[in-house]
Chain A
């Protein structure tokens, strides 16, 4: 169970999904995608296996996901069929507030 670093990029072991950590708690986080621990995208590991049926909700590019406590926030940078979870609890999609365009 590694600690997550803000700005780090992780990929799913079981689908195409990739995320970037926007905010993370300082203690260890058991972040999974499709039910399997996520892999450091720069590590060159490839993972393998299938998406757990309870974790097949998918992630969409550009959407942000948070845990219930709102201590963890990630951004999906590549869509995938797996769902994100911490300690087995699926993350929630974060609502974004629409702002007037200024630049």
Chain B
């Protein structure tokens, strides 16, 4: 079992199809061009002393090349977050040496002349000797070999290195993608960063389905819209903050229709989608199928999906049970099981909040140097809080650690945020717990107002009081210009907490 097998199959089924296009530069690679360059690079990696192949750069054609060449050579691929400082990156590199580091030319000098580190320029990676030696398919098939090491953005301490073995990634692809299911005209626009699990999953599933990938290295709504139109993109995946920007950008031009008739499917995930954003998006893209995906690095990407039919059913329904599913992350993929458990580890009844546990072939739950956090029955504790409704639709309610405990009562920030978001003046909101002498913790809210709207603290408090139990009413409300998000659209509650003091 090796991710290379997926590329080998694509290469033998449709060698001349365009596999990847760099949307910024316009460069392309067909499956056969990719395959031969991967083989050439794998031989060079094997001839080196490197135990890891590290990539520190935005998406480009060298991204899929690095992923597959590492698999072929038999060493882990380690894509790093290029937004980290050189100092933070250096600490991660220390943990993966001896390694080859591939980075952009402006960063090469920062990492030159380090013991155990061979540094390459990203653009040199694409250079091809042209000598088409016959390529032996000589990668290992040990399913336990590590395909990818991904540093997770830990909120405390040093980042953890999640280990994804070939068996996890290949199981995910075989369980969710039909081989060669895309026709030649289909194109997928990938704008998630290459060091994010969704970026890795996008490469693997597009290759296996035979779908052309158009890469957008640095996201902007304008560029996204332009590339969708230019390449007649049929599939795209965005995080909620990106969809929000795209909707705003279209609205600024006065558009009532996005006019992207080729866009058959738009998937989103990676964070909580505000209801007004998805509702507006569905109006602007009336012919597009929307899917909401939920997954984690440790689960090799998606574990549950709210599909297009679920979206339409929810929007068309007057029944609150169906309507609220628009903000759920859908149901577990085939081969994946999801449970909600309480603090004692007991499974809870439907519609009860608890911690999300997941089990399946694609679930790794293992960290380098820390071992596995999967229990003896194969269940992985996600540390995400959520609930399942009577039909198995999963609702996310923030991180398990984000719960506010006020006078012994557990409050979900997400519930309060959902209510505040329905106020006409509120553009964005973060609810967190702050230390309180009387209650242990109390509820605080940070509000970003829509432009040209004003509302008082008291008005917002009574707005919540009319809709929820009084314990949920924020005792402190601040108005900010914006909220801190990471690049994949996750609200940085820790930063909000620090800034609130």
Contacts and interface: CB of A to CB of B under 8 A. Distances in A.
A56 B180 CA distance: 24
B205 A103 contact: yes
A101 B141 contact: no
A14 B90 CA distance: 53
A75 interface: yes
B308 A8 contact: no
Nearest to B209: A101
B10 to A, nearest CB: 10
Interface stretch (B1-9, B351-359, B413-421): B1-9
Q: Report which residue of B13, B178, B269, B289 has the largest number of chain A beta carbons within 10 angstroms of its beta carbon.
A: B178
B435 to A, nearest CB: 39
A103 B265 contact: no
Interface in B185-206: 188, 198, 201-202, 205
A99 B179 contact: no
Contacts, number: 76
Contacts of A7: 1, 141-143, 166-167, 170
B143 A101 contact: no
A102 B141 contact: no
A64 B174 contact: yes
A90 B167 CA distance: 26
B299 interface: no
A81 to B, nearest CB: 16
B178 A96 contact: yes
Interface string B281-323: 0000000010101000000011001011000000000000000
Interface in A62-103: 62-64, 75, 77-78, 96-103
A1 interface: no
B422 interface: no
Nearest to A40: B141
Contact of A102 (B12, B142, B174, B302): B302
A45 to B, nearest CB: 16
A72 B361 CA distance: 15
Given A7-B1, A102-B293, A77 B8 contact: yes
A9 interface: yes
Interface of B: 1, 5, 8-9, 12-13, 141-143, 166-167, 170, 174, 176-180, 188, 198, 201-202, 205, 209, 235, 237, 265, 267, 269, 289, 291, 293, 301-302, 305, 307-308, 333-334
